[in-house]
């Protein structure tokens, strides 16, 4: 295998792979005029709902829209509070902030890097409306204790399952535990719908109706209406062909296109095989790096099926011989491998420092983030690419 091909396989940019089946699906919808949300999206929704074991699913334009619509659907309003992990992509917290809510964070478990349910209850106030657990890097949060706290306080749980499509906790799929589960099909995710896309899943019919309404400007089309029509039906006998439109509220356009939906149908069929490849690659990396001093490799907690959206590693600089930042730099410039740093703790970012957060507030998240890198992992990687990655990490230790 050529060096450039190995290096391409070691970029974290693309999380899935497409083949002739996706090409055929795109062409078919294109020949039908490539509409917005239509039959292909409906099929994708039915398939993903069945896959997750839930009653309803609605395709949306991205994962951020899925989170946003979920919060709208549970009635989040200005001044309400939401709780989430400080170690996540900003979308998890920003969806609530843009609706006028206040965000607070719950520190993380140092082993799984997920929100620590033992620290949750002390953060709940009378204004807390929703908890957004993030199944980080593809591993589910410890949902039993988290759901118990939420139930005790009557708080909605909205799962950010954007990293975790197909992941399981106690044999149940990520996304099926909360009032809603939110997925992203961005280009880096385990499956993608042409670079962008998302889905909300839920068992609650009222929540589903609100998600569906607000996704598309709260539009209701009536088969035959007298309420909003001044026309005298006796003079204009249009009968059943007559329709009129009303809007329940001001909503959004967060629809998915049918070309994306058609690709989603095909990608979902491949998901389990793609996730298995990710697990195999993670096991290969762990075997190849297990004896390297100064590295903390990912741990799969009991009763979880991890889907390794990312492969997180903590670097102890005293033992390894490089700091996190030196490691990232050397991997890129000496080995041509792009290593990630997912994520800067949100309370340390400008957006949340402006909202009054201070360094030091979530010490576990901060100490983990200072040491954490994510090694490239995707289902396209060849053995040679994985070997090159392992050799590269090993070569940098105490040179």
Ligand X SMILES: Cc1ncc(COP(=O)(O)O)c(C=O)c1O
Which residues form the catalytic set? 189
Residue selected from 37, 64, 128, 314 as contacting ligand X according to rule CB under 6 A: 64
Instruction: Give the residue, chosen from 57, 73, 93, 134, that forms a contact with ligand X under the rule CB under 6 A.
Output: 134
- What per-residue string of b and e applies to 278-289 under the rule 16 or more CB within 10 Å gives b? bbebbebbbebb
Strand partners, 105: 84
- 155 and 124 Cβ atoms separated by less than 8 Å: yes
- Measured CA to CA in angstroms, residue 347 lies from 106, 109, 341 at distances of 11, 17, 16
Which one of residues 16, 37, 62, 114 is an interface residue with ligand X (CB under 6 A)?
Answer: 62
User: What residue number has its CB nearest to ligand X?
Assistant: 63
Binding mask 257-276 for ligand X (x = CB under 6 A): --------------------
Interface stretch with ligand X, choices 57-65, 105-113, 294-302, 388-396 (CB under 6 A): 57-65
d(CA 335, CA 25): 38
Choices 17-25, 62-70, 259-267, 330-338; region in contact with ligand X by CB under 6 A: 62-70
Q: Are 9 and 247 in contact (CB under 8 A)?
A: no
CA angle 137–54–247, rounded 5-degree value: 100
Looking at the Cβ atoms of 304 and 335, the one nearer to ligand X is: 304
Compose the 142-181 pattern: x for residues touching ligand X by CB under 6 A, - for all others. ------------------x-xx------------------
| 210 touches ligand X (CB under 6 A) | no
Residue 17 main-chain phi, psi, to 5 deg: -140, 145
Least CB distance to ligand X at residue 285 (A): 21
How far apart CA 9 and CA 25 sit, in angstroms, is: 25
Taking the C-alpha atoms of residue 315 and residue 323, their distance in angstroms, rounded to an integer, is 7
By CB under 6 A, what part of segment 360-379 binds ligand X? none
In the complex, minimum distance from the CB of residue 338 to ligand X, in angstroms, rounded to a whole number:
16
CA angle, residues 35, 164, 384, in degrees to nearest 5: 100
Cα distance between residue 188 and residue 387, in whole Å? 22
Least distance to ligand X, CB of residue 36, Å: 18
In the set 54, 91, 191, 369, which binds ligand X (CB under 6 A)?
91
For the bound state, the minimum distance from the C-beta of residue 140 to ligand X, rounded and expressed in Å, comes to 13
Query: With binding defined as CB under 6 A, does residue 184 bind ligand X?
Result: yes
Give min distance, CB of 96 to ligand X, in A: 12
> Which three-class secondary structure state does DSSP give residue 267?
helix
By CB under 6 A, name the binding residues for ligand X. Answer: 62-64, 88-89, 91-92, 134, 160, 162-163, 184, 186, 198
């Amino acid at each position: 295998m050529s060096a450039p091909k190995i290096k391409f396989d070691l970029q974290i940019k693309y999380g899935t792979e497409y083949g002739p089946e996706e090409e055929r699906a795109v062409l078919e919808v294109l020949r039908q005029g490539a509409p917005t949300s239509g039959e292909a999206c409906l099929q994708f929704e039915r398939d993903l709902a069945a896959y997750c074991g839930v009653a309803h699913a609605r395709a949306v334009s991205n994962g951020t829209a899925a989170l946003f619509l979920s919060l709208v659907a549970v009635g989040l309003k200005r001044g309400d509070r939401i709780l989430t992990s400080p170690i996540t992509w900003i979308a998890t917290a920003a969806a609530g902030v843009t609706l006028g809510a206040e965000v607070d964070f719950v520190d993380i478990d140092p082993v799984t890097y997920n929100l620590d349910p033992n620290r949750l209850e002390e953060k709940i106030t009378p204004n807390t409306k929703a908890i957004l657990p993030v199944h980080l890097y593809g591993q589910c949060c410890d949902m039993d204790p988290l759901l118990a706290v939420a139930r005790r306080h009557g708080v909605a749980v909205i799962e950010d399952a954007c990293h975790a499509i197909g992941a399981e906790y106690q044999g149940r799929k990520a996304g099926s535990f909360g009032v809603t589960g939110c997925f992203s099909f961005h280009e880096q995710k385990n499956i993608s719908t042409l670079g962008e896309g998302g889905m909300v899943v839920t068992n609650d019919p009222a929540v589903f109706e609100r998600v569906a309404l607000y996704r598309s400007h709260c539009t209701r089309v009536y088969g035959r209406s007298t309420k909003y029509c001044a026309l005298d039906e006796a003079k204009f006998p249009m009968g059943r062909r007559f329709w009129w439109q009303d809007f329940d509220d001001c909503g959004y356009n967060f629809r998915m296109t049918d070309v994306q939906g058609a690709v989603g149908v095909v990608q979902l069929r491949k998901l389990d095989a793609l996730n298995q490849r990710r697990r195999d690659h993670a096991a290969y990396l762990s075997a190849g790096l297990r004896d390297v001093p100064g590295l903390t490799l990912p741990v799969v907690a009991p009763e979880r099926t991890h889907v390794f959206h990312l492969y997180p590693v903590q670097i102890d600089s005293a033992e390894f011989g490089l700091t996190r930042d030196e490691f990232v730099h050397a991997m890129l410039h000496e080995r041509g491998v792009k290593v990630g740093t997912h994520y800067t703790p949100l309370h340390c970012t400008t957006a949340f420092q402006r909202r009054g957060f201070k360094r030091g507030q979530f010490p576990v998240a901060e100490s983990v983030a200072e040491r954490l890198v994510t090694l490239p992992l995707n289902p396209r990687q060849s053995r040679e690419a994985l070997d090159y990655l392992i050799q590269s990490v090993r070569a940098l230790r105490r040179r």
